[in-house]
């Protein structure tokens, strides 16, 4: 038993080492911010540091897993670094303090456990802290994750701070739903729009492992997800099983389809977890219908789920383009309902019966 644990530990260490080395070798490409893609954004942020043109508020916006938090982290590191050359040196006091989580003027705000919104109290608390003079004379930074969850009073409280900025303070808001951030806050912020990263670019950053190509294409241009899969291949295998399950679903009876949904959703008891499962399922379905469309257009080289290409090709013979577009519209509509707190199980049941 112990031997197995030691073996697993060594495997974990060596794999992480390989991953780290790979990033290190690729670092040069991104001028020491080890991020996959987003070259223009990185250049803009690095230039703003060297030119000393730092805004009071930024909104890093784009779909999940693109690397928004990672870019924010390196932006903050380079902003605090004493060299002020757009990079981080990892040697100065600011770099070391930030790396050890003891830089006194950095605050992170996000959803608290079990809460639906970021509250006004949370914003008031950090606002009062950054109004005091800085410990180091350096930037005071507030990172707000899932900023679309700011309650309206919280957003208004934030707006007040942005309207009367004091000293060197920077707010970085991260969000995958820009529309939910009040226009007043948006208009006071520089919006940094993160776009999907080309699979070929993701591919060059992944260590040479067997599943590398399958992963680079199946993450739908989200490098963050590719990294998670490379770190824990079982997550990718689970994803492949979900795709495979869905491709078999078209031959099932109505009752079997409903059982399939019931089994998936009722794995979790908490509503917010059910929503998360439903959202993951909808994303998988969407990727499969997109692949069906691509295979009909003979754009096989753009297919995301390349590991399931045979099943996708045979399924595409049974569907018309019109029907596939109808299904894609339906799934997008379901995603909207899901984010407006409708019942996840009912949404998926209605949808699966319409396929």
Q: Which residues bind Zn ion (CB under 5 A)?
A: 81, 89, 92, 95
Q: Toward Zn ion, which CB reaches closer, 92 or 233?
A: 92
Q: Record the tokens describing residue 90, joined without a space.
A: 């990892």
Q: Which is nearer to Zn ion, 5 or 102 (CB)?
A: 102
How near is the Cβ of 38 to Zn ion at its closest, in Å? 22
Closest CB 93 distance from Zn ion, rounded Å? 8
Q: Which is nearer to Zn ion, 89 or 258 (CB)?
A: 89
Q: How far is the CB of 261 from Zn ion (least distance, A)?
A: 52
- Which long-range CB contacts under 8 A does 176-181 form with residues at least 24 apart? 176/61, 176/62, 176/63, 176/64, 176/148, 177/148, 177/339, 178/59, 178/61, 178/148, 179/148, 180/148, 180/149, 181/59, 181/147, 181/148, 181/150, 181/155
**At 252, which helix (H) or strand (E)?**
none
Closer to Zn ion by CB, 81 or 347: give it: 81
The β-bridge partners of 60 are 174, 192
**Cβ density class 67-101: b for 16+ within 10 Å, e for less:** bbebbbbbbbbbbbbeeeebbbeeeeebbebbeee
| CB 137, min distance to Zn ion, A | 15
Nearest to 310 by CA among 252, 236, 248, 249: 248
Instruction: Name which of 81 and 150 has its Cβ closer to Zn ion.
Output: 81
| Ordered strands of the 140-144 beta sheet | 106-109, 140-144, 169-175, 57-61, 190-193
Looking at beta carbons only, is 138 or 305 nearer to Zn ion?
A: 138
Q: What is the residue-wise DSSP string for 100-136?
A: TT--TTEEEE-PPTT-SSB-HHHHHHHHHHHHSPPSS
CB of 89 to Zn ion, least distance (A): 4
Find the shortest distance in angstroms from Cβ 87 to Zn ion.
8
**Which residue, 89 or 277, is less far from Zn ion as judged by CB?**
89
User: Nearest approach, Cβ of 22 to Zn ion (angstroms)?
Assistant: 24
């Amino acid at each position: 038993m112990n031997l197995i644990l030691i073996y697993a530990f060594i495997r974990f260490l060596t794999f992480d080492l390989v991953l780290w080395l790979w990033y290190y070798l690729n670092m040069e490409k991104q001028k020491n911010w080890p991020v996959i893609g987003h070259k223009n954004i990185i250049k803009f942020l690095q230039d703003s540091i060297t030119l000393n043109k730092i805004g009071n508020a930024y909104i890093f916006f784009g779909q999940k897993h693109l690397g928004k938090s990672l870019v924010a982290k390196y932006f903050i590191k380079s902003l605090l670094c004493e060299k002020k050359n757009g990079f981080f040196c990892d040697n100065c006091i600011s770099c070391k303090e930030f790396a050890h989580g003891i830089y006194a003027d950095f605050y992170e705000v996000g959803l608290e456990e079990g809460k639906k919104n970021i509250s006004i109290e949370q914003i008031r608390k950090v606002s009062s802290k950054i109004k005091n003079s800085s410990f180091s004379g350096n930037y005071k930074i507030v990172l707000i994750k899932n900023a679309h969850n700011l309650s309206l009073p919280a957003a208004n409280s934030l707006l007040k701070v942005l309207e009367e900025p004091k000293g060197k303070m920077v707010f970085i808001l991260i969000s995958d739903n820009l529309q939910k951030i009040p226009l007043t806050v948006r208009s006071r912020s520089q919006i940094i729009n993160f776009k999907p990263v080309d699979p070929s670019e993701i591919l060059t950053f992944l260590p040479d492992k067997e599943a590398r190509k399958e992963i680079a294409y199946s993450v739908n241009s989200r490098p963050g997800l590719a990294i998670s899969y490379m770190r824990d291949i079982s997550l990718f295998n689970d994803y492949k099983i979900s795709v495979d399950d869905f491709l078999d679903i078209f031959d099932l009876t109505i009752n079997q389809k409903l059982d399939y949904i019931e089994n998936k959703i009722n794995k979790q008891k908490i509503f917010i977890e059910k929503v998360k499962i439903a959202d993951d399922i909808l994303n998988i379905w969407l990727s499969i219908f997109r692949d069906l469309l691509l295979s009909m257009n003979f754009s096989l080289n753009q297919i995301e789920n390349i590991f399931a290409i045979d099943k996708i090709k045979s399924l595409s013979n049974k569907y018309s383009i019109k029907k596939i577009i109808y299904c894609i519209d339906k799934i997008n509509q379901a995603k909207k309902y899901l984010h407006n707190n409708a019942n996840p199980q009912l949404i998926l049941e209605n949808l699966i019966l319409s396929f």
